[in-house]
Structure 1
Amino acid sequence: MKRTTYAGLVDEQYLDQTVTLTGWVQKRRDFGGLIFVDLRDREGIVQLTFNETNAAALKVAEEMRSEYVIEVTGVVHLRSEGQENNNIKTGKIEIEVTDAEILASAKTTPFYIEDNVNANEELKLQYRYLDLRRPEMQKNLRIRSKIMSSAMHFMTTHDFINIETPILAKSTPEGARDYLVPSRIFPGSFYALPQSPQLFKQLLMGAGFDRYFQIARAFRDEDLRGDRQPEFTQMDVETSFMSADEIRHLVNEWVKVMMKEVVDFDLDTQSIPTLTWQESMDRFGTDKPDLRIAYEIQDLSATVAQSEFGVFANAVKDGGVVKAISVPGGADHYSRKDIDKMAQYIERFGAKGLAWLKVTSEGVSGPIAKFFAEDAQQVIDAAGAQVGDLILFGAGRFDVVSATLDYLRRQTAKDLNLVDNTNPWAFAWIVDWPLFEYSEDFDRWISAHHPFTMPNEEDLHYLDEGEDPHKAHAQSYDLVLNGFELGSGSIRIHRMDIQEKMLKALGFSKEKAHEAFGFLLEAMEYGFPPMGGIALGLDRLAMLLAGQENIREVIAFPKNSRATEPMTKAPSRVEQKQLLELGLFTSEDMAD
């Protein structure tokens, strides 16, 4: 079996040549003594013709069905005039087959192997190996492969050393829930799958490897969504003796190279804006803004502080905010019923309602318009609205208002096609993050990035006894693309005294800190260099560059939204013998 080239690459340069091709039968059309077969492989489709001149090959073609695996030899000819297919690379030629062999037969597939197939998502995941045959999926995984190749080449040519870190590691409290692996040799003890290689890469800096990277697998037991999986892939980068600006410049260099190599886009890295966390939250209501949407959040707190509308006035009086977005053309697009649906949705953010106004040539209309009869123009101007716009308000706590208006901004832009696709790749850096954030899930303060993030120099005093550490900001930075976080990084703590203060602020006693992170704290006593780094999510990057809305579409064998894998049925029960070897019992065993 000696293939000449891929089926999808045969073109006019092969005219009148004999070629041998292999692949899958996409489609078969039988016209008696003439059979056409579309042969598919990873590069595309080519048309095969079988006729009575080559009777043996024609007989084999009569047995072919969709998804049969075949090998053919034939001569490349131009298609008849008017029969060309300009939608595919091979559309001007066809192969007149002289020899053919069926290498494997196939059952009827549960769905067609074609793009935009109308099949249940769970069914496609159950038969993922068939789903992956579709051209769209093949394209997605090739984009992912190009990203990884670009990362490997760029880092190695910039003096970074590729070092693997352990998958079976110690469980350390870093934020998300760990996936735990029981030890057979030490009953009752567990390894943890890494949420990131954070501690190991800091130790590598202490070991003198001043430029480290790896394409790392990471694991987090958390609720899933479209851009999140239990296991994911990141490019992990750590450096010594580099500032935050230098690290961001390095990442910009790679992003520029990668965008050219993967999607042939010339990115002007000088145009990538840098926003502080506070500025991003004020203008967009999120720390990962989509800058392709032109309209921003406006603060109307001062304008409506004395408003007759009690919801607004009381929100400001109670220390909250009143903010709004003006949706261009929204007045005609959204009915009251549509707005009620949005109001119901935003309840999940803690919003207790959705106030709105439509801007008309006479002023404003809507259920709260009567409260602004005299100062309607002030509200219109403060919201930056025009005639025909829909003004959507948020009133109350800063975090609730921010989350609400962020969602409404994204959703209305999608509904009205207001995302500016003339700027297809809107990157941004978000810097100067709070060092801590309050977690509703854990009901306590946690580190906004991780417990090893260096505070800003001017904020170090907030970690001292008697100060409020929650006022501190971090030397951290996130890279954002089109409203998604691509990477998160920071300058790390390399001094023992600061690290101990940081852990104390997070609620660790000295004993608990050394129990959890003792190996790192001890290493710091042997001379740690100033260091910093970043982890870039390659799944999300591949999703965006492939034009997909879910990272499952760029992962070969992903989990579904319930964190199960329909094809292999993972997670699954194991034999009782395996559990006994590990000294484990299930809740059902305990009940028995």
Structure 2
Amino acid sequence: MNYYRTHKCNELRKNNIGEKVTLSGWLYRKRDHGNLIFVDLRDFYGITQLVFNNNKEFFSIISNLKLESVITVQGIVKVRTADTINSEIATGEIELVVDYLHIESEVKFAENEEIAKEERSILASITGEQEYPENMRFKYRFLDLRREKIRNNVVLRSHIIAELRDLMIKQGFLEIQTPILTASSPEGARDYLVPSRLNPGKFYALPQAPQIFKQLLMISGFDKYFQIAPCFRDEDARADRSPGEFYQLDLEMSFVTQEDIFQIIEYTMYSIFTKFSNKCVDQFFPRITYKEAMLKYGSDKPDMRNPILISDMTDVFRNSEFNVFKKNIESGMVVRAIPAPNTAKEPRSFFDRKIEYAQKEFGTQGLGYIVFDIDGNAKGPIAKFLDNHQLNQIKEIANVKPGDSIFFTSAEENEAAIIAGKVRTLLGSELSLIDSNIFKFCWVVDFPYFVYDDKNKKIDFFHNPFSMPQAGLKDLEEKNPLDILAYQFDLVCNGVELSSGAIRNNKLDIMYKAFTIAGYSKEEVDIKFGALVRAFRFGVPPHGGIAPGIDRMVMLLTDEANIREIICFPMNQQGVDVLMGAPSTVDEHQLCELYLKVCE
């Protein structure tokens, strides 16, 4: 029998009445009734109410003991009276009358009063609802994790990972771990570098993703690989991105097309989201081209719950009398329209706020708009510059009805898409058009293979440099690089990008040609990707893969807006681990061993 407990704190029921039991846990709540003290004892599993009578010699001890101290108790299980039953906890029909108490570990605050005040505050948050600054919570993360909400997030994350692993194995995937210490690779983000003591002046890199290793596994003949992969990228923090490290369900398959990968992931995501959420999960995963996504949704991460669709109104305004847009179009700009359903009766301030939003967020002159009243008559600042034919075109193209209004923005194509997309999201939220009780997925496909890097004045890879152009070598040799499409795809759920994937290039001549267009010489490719180059000479199967982000999946399933709420020991927005004090300085002798010197 376990010395510290015969039962866990969620187990005792009415059928245990009269039994002598032992429980251990944290002193969660305490209610002093003079001759009786009621204590809620908490362990990982639940809560049991304890009763301390004033005729016991340890009554004064429990009276003075601080919350969150750890205790072991023995006593007799009693039934609660009908008026004291607590239906909110599993053990709510019983209580334990304590006849033995042992303090395992007593809470003691710091001697420094300022620190002690901080400790008392964060300790109180365990039972209360008050939130504290992120740095303070992370400094005392071991206490923060005792809070039910945060603990439940961590538990759910564990269950999701276990289910993902089970689903992969059932679908014939083999779990294989790839190296953490590897070589630096130009995959789009900054590497974390690790100096090598045994090889002075040389560095390992922590993997941004197991990209090359999983391709090598396919070349080695392993048909289906997966792992719950840690990835490391030296990027700035965002609400949906953890600085430093994150985890993904990394997988790769041989002899597959894009659709084969879609089928695996659709089954997996639908299984996970239906099992771990009470929300509705749409089984339809539409395919949307990147070009269509940017036009209709103003984003390559479209939220399919939002029914508003953006339209191209460039041709309508090309010959209009509205000179602002007309001149923009003549200089190569476009016009995008964003409908606002059932807003014709909104006050002027509704429209002014949207104009101010565009001005503040994007530095534009604002937004144009037209209001179509209940009779279909057009009103607003730019309506008078359009004839009936042009107004009817707008209504038809944007599917605008009487009682609706419509906003317009004009800019360079990419900027116009971004502005329209943000306004679409704002309207969808303000007008309560987005159903928060459903998960809607989509695939964004046909991404450009290359993009022009304005900063460095060169062509670069738009997405994954190891993907296959859709017409293979022919595209690379004959097309304008910016017109080439790749077998690259993103999985999006409710406007959150969960994953990027691709069908990989499996031919060495295509690899050399693609990297040449991006400014790499053959010699550079041989040096940077030597292992892949060697492997490509020995029979490479068609293969492809994807890597859904586990952190973002858990965010969606917990309705958390901040990714740090679902990570057990997160860094703050500055990439600092305030709990452990990392990053930190190191001793001079450690630097010497690594042949390093810190420059001032």
Q: Give the TM-score normalised by the residue count of structure 1.
A: 0.91
The match for 1:234 is: 248
Report matched runs for 1:318-337 at 5 Å: 318-330=331-343, 332=346, 334-335=349-350
The match for 1:539 is: 551
Q: Is the Cα contact below 8 Å between 1:280 and 1:287 reproduced in 2? A: yes
Per-residue Cα deviation, 1:124-176 (whole angstroms, up to 9, x for no partner):
12211111111000111111111110111122233222111111111121211
Q: CA deviation at 1:377?
A: 5.4
Amino acid at match of 2:496: F
The match for 2:433 is: 418
1:139 pairs with 2:141: no
Please, which runs of 5 or more residues in structure 1 have no aligned partner? none
The match for 2:204 is: 191
Task: Select 2:272's aligned residue among 255, 258, 262.
Answer: 258
The match for 1:557 is: 569
The match for 1:158 is: 171
Question: Is the alpha carbon distance of 1:321 and 1:584 closer, same or farther for their aligned partners in structure 2, counting shifts above 3 Å?
Answer: same
Give the match's secondary structure for 2:554.
helix
Q: Is the Cα contact below 8 Å between 2:51 and 2:97 reproduced in 1? A: yes
Report the more deviating stretch, 354-363 or 66-75: 354-363
4+ long deviations beyond 6 Å: none
Task: Select 1:175's aligned residue among 188, 212, 217.
Answer: 188
1:577 pairs with 2:598: no
CA distance in 2, matches of 1:508, 1:92: 72
Q: CA deviation at 1:52?
A: 3.7
Amino acid at match of 1:448: F
CA distance in 2, matches of 1:159, 1:14: 46
The match for 1:456 is: 470
Per-residue Cα deviation, 1:258-305 (whole angstroms, up to 9, x for no partner):
224333667563x22222222222211111111111112122222222
Q: Is the Cα contact below 8 Å between 2:450 and 2:461 reproduced in 1? A: yes
Question: Is the alpha carbon distance of 1:51 and 1:380 closer, same or farther for their aligned partners in structure 2, counting shifts above 3 Å?
Answer: farther
Q: Is the Cα contact below 8 Å between 1:49 and 1:94 reproduced in 2? A: yes
The match for 1:202 is: 215
Q: Is the Cα contact below 8 Å between 1:357 and 1:391 reproduced in 2? A: yes
Task: Select 1:514's aligned residue among 526, 538, 558.
Answer: 526
Give the match's secondary structure for 1:399.
helix
CA distance in 2, matches of 1:119, 1:175: 35
Give the match's secondary structure for 1:303.
helix
Report the more deviating stretch, 175-184 or 334-343: 334-343
CA distance in 1, matches of 2:453, 2:14: 62
Task: Select 1:130's aligned residue among 143, 149, 152.
Answer: 143
The match for 2:290 is: 277
Report the more deviating stretch, 479-488 or 433-442: 433-442
Q: CA deviation at 1:335?
A: 3.5
Per-residue Cα deviation, 1:487-513 (whole angstroms, up to 9, x for no partner):
111111111111111111211111111
The match for 2:35 is: 33
Question: Is the alpha carbon distance of 1:5 and 1:439 closer, same or farther for their aligned partners in structure 2, counting shifts above 3 Å?
Answer: farther
Q: CA deviation at 1:545?
A: 0.5
Amino acid at match of 2:53: N
Q: CA deviation at 1:244?
A: 1.5
Give the match's secondary structure for 1:7.
coil
Question: Is the alpha carbon distance of 1:359 and 1:4 closer, same or farther for their aligned partners in structure 2, counting shifts above 3 Å?
Answer: farther
CA distance in 2, matches of 1:337, 1:116: 37
The match for 2:44 is: 42
Please, which runs of 5 or more residues in structure 2 have no aligned partner? 110-118
Report the more deviating stretch, 516-525 or 360-369: 360-369
Amino acid at match of 1:240: S
The match for 1:400 is: 415
Question: Is the alpha carbon distance of 1:320 and 1:523 closer, same or farther for their aligned partners in structure 2, counting shifts above 3 Å?
Answer: same
Question: Is the alpha carbon distance of 1:248 and 1:12 closer, same or farther for their aligned partners in structure 2, counting shifts above 3 Å?
Answer: farther
CA distance in 2, matches of 1:456, 1:40: 58
Task: Select 2:541's aligned residue among 512, 529, 533.
Answer: 529
Q: Is the Cα contact below 8 Å between 1:64 and 1:102 reproduced in 2? A: no
The match for 2:114 is: none
Amino acid at match of 1:434: P
Question: Is the alpha carbon distance of 1:559 and 1:16 closer, same or farther for their aligned partners in structure 2, counting shifts above 3 Å?
Answer: same
Q: CA deviation at 1:60?
A: 3.8
CA distance in 2, matches of 1:309, 1:317: 12
The match for 2:113 is: none
1:438 pairs with 2:452: yes
CA distance in 2, matches of 1:249, 1:561: 36
Give the match's secondary structure for 2:227.
strand
Per-residue Cα deviation, 1:303-329 (whole angstroms, up to 9, x for no partner):
222222222222333333211222335
Give the match's secondary structure for 1:402.
helix
The match for 1:494 is: 506
Per-residue Cα deviation, 1:363-382 (whole angstroms, up to 9, x for no partner):
45544444347555554454
Report the more deviating stretch, 77-86 or 520-529: 77-86
Report matched runs for 1:276-295 at 5 Å: 276-295=289-308
CA distance in 2, matches of 1:365, 1:438: 41
Q: Is the Cα contact below 8 Å between 1:227 and 1:550 reproduced in 2? A: yes
Q: CA deviation at 1:536?
A: 1.1
The match for 1:74 is: 75
CA distance in 1, matches of 2:370, 2:84: 58
Report the more deviating stretch, 61-70 or 171-180: 61-70
The match for 1:213 is: 226
Q: Give the TM-score normalised by the residue count of structure 2.
A: 0.90
Per-residue Cα deviation, 1:34-56 (whole angstroms, up to 9, x for no partner):
11112223334332222246x14
Q: Is the Cα contact below 8 Å between 2:282 and 2:439 reproduced in 1? A: no
Q: CA deviation at 1:441?
A: 5.8
Q: CA deviation at 1:14?
A: 4.1
The match for 1:109 is: 120
Question: Is the alpha carbon distance of 1:28 and 1:184 closer, same or farther for their aligned partners in structure 2, counting shifts above 3 Å?
Answer: same
CA distance in 2, matches of 1:239, 1:353: 48
Question: Is the alpha carbon distance of 1:572 and 1:329 closer, same or farther for their aligned partners in structure 2, counting shifts above 3 Å?
Answer: farther
Q: CA deviation at 1:341?
A: 3.8
Report the more deviating stretch, 571-580 or 201-210: 571-580
CA distance in 2, matches of 1:497, 1:86: 69
CA distance in 2, matches of 1:159, 1:304: 55
Question: Is the alpha carbon distance of 1:433 and 1:574 closer, same or farther for their aligned partners in structure 2, counting shifts above 3 Å?
Answer: same
Q: CA deviation at 1:517?
A: 1.0
Question: Is the alpha carbon distance of 1:514 and 1:49 closer, same or farther for their aligned partners in structure 2, counting shifts above 3 Å?
Answer: same
Give the match's secondary structure for 1:346.
helix
CA distance in 1, matches of 2:409, 2:516: 36
Q: Is the Cα contact below 8 Å between 1:74 and 1:96 reproduced in 2? A: yes
Q: Count residues in correspondence.
A: 581
Q: Is the Cα contact below 8 Å between 1:303 and 1:382 reproduced in 2? A: no
Question: Is the alpha carbon distance of 1:30 and 1:433 closer, same or farther for their aligned partners in structure 2, counting shifts above 3 Å?
Answer: same
Question: Is the alpha carbon distance of 1:366 and 1:56 closer, same or farther for their aligned partners in structure 2, counting shifts above 3 Å?
Answer: farther
Report the more deviating stretch, 24-33 or 260-269: 260-269
Question: Is the alpha carbon distance of 1:358 and 1:207 closer, same or farther for their aligned partners in structure 2, counting shifts above 3 Å?
Answer: same
Amino acid at match of 2:217: L
Question: Is the alpha carbon distance of 1:139 and 1:345 closer, same or farther for their aligned partners in structure 2, counting shifts above 3 Å?
Answer: farther
Question: Is the alpha carbon distance of 1:356 and 1:44 closer, same or farther for their aligned partners in structure 2, counting shifts above 3 Å?
Answer: farther
The match for 2:112 is: none
Question: Is the alpha carbon distance of 1:74 and 1:283 closer, same or farther for their aligned partners in structure 2, counting shifts above 3 Å?
Answer: farther
